[in-house]
Amino acid sequence: MTVNEPITPAAIRQQEFSTGWRGYVPGEVRTFLEEVAEAITVLMQENQTLRSDLARQEDDLSEYKRREQLLKDTLINAQQVIEAVKANAQKEAEILIHEAELKAERILQEAFSRQGKIRNDIDELKRLKTTFMSQMQGVLDSHQRLLAESGAAE
């Protein structure tokens, strides 16, 4: 095994040491290497589990970010729709008010026109009454003279 190669449990298990005259006890070295290999196996499994969990959580995070953006876009669209509805309602209200004002103005003009016509009719009736009263007074005066003349003639 070289320095640049990754240390794996199998590499640890297969590692051979040269022995010297007072070297290490081969059984202890083998036992230690087996323990190290087991520890590395557990660490590698934990590492793989953590990487899998991280990948899954990154996928979940991406999905949540996508959903968050979708919600933001939806809220923005909803706000725009609300603003458009408000603007349209305001415009419709202004149109209705304007139409009502025009209608009220027409009604007032018609009322003033009718009022003027009624005043003219009243004035005409007063003139007719005065004329009629004058004519009646003339007829009465004429009849009184006739009566006075016919009474004096008798």
Tokens for 108? Answer: 């007032």
| Residue 21: inside a domain | yes
Instruction: Write the single-letter amino acid at 30.
Output: R
| Residue 1: inside a domain | no
| Residue 4: inside a domain | no
pTM over 0.75: no
| Residue 88: inside a domain | yes
| Residue 149: inside a domain | yes
Residue 42 backbone dihedrals phi, psi, to 5 degrees? -65, -45
Q: Where in the sequence is the domain holding 52, given as residue range(s)?
A: 9-153
CB 60 within 8 A of CB 31: no
Tokens for 72? Answer: 């933001």
pLDDT for residue 153:
65
Tens-place pLDDT, residues 29-70:
888 888 888 888 899 999 999 999 999 999 999 999 999 999
| Residue 3: inside a domain | no
Tens-place pLDDT, residues 115-149:
999 999 999 999 999 999 999 999 999 988 888 88
| Residue 16: inside a domain | yes
Cα–Cα distances (Å) from 87 to 21, 43, 80, 95, 123, in that order, read 97, 64, 10, 12, 53
Number of folded domains that form the chain: 1
Tens-place pLDDT, residues 65-112:
999 999 999 999 999 999 999 999 999 999 999 999 999 999 999 999
Q: Return d(Cα 118, Cα 55) in angstroms, integer.
A: 92
CB 13 within 8 A of CB 37: yes
Tokens for 101? Answer: 């004002």
